[in-house]
Amino acid sequence: MAKKFNKPKHQTQSEISKAKESIKIEFNSLLSFSFKYLDVVEDKFDPYSRGQDYFVVLIERLKELSRFTIQQFYSNRSQALRSHPIDWNDTTENSFGIPGEDQIVNTPYQFELSANEYGRIHGFVIDSVFFIRWLDPDHNLYS
């Protein structure tokens, strides 16, 4: 009679276990940033008029947030961060204006640089990468 060959347990994993592991990894991944879709040509979202202090605060905020997991970013309700989805119905725009946006952007998102002084950053998240679309130092998305 032929011996049965059993695969080692560490090599067999159910599809549900794989899915749970993938979600766990994603939510425990550190947040990172991309400037791939950054639009600084639009006058409404012009960060250059703010001077070098603005850019120092921007870099410091991105550095601080890059220590967050994506789960911490989504669940943080701090008044200092004010991270939340964008409702286009409450804004001066109806989208980011990216070609193929409906295929790329799941939920538009924003967060503050600091308490009202330096405005917000608008973009969207894919996996654990926040793609920055607009730097909005003067809160123009909501004016």
In order of their start, the domains of the chain are 30-142 (3.30.2310)
CA torsion 29-31-37-39 (nearest 10°) is: 170
Task: Quick: pLDDT tens for 36-59.
Answer: 999 988 788 988 888 899 999 999
pTM of the full predicted structure? 0.78
Q: pLDDT band at residue 143, thresholds of 50, 70 and 90?
A: confident
Average pLDDT over residues 59-64: 94
What pLDDT is stored for residue 7 in this prediction?
47
What pLDDT is stored for residue 83 in this prediction?
87
Average pLDDT of the chain, as a whole number: 83
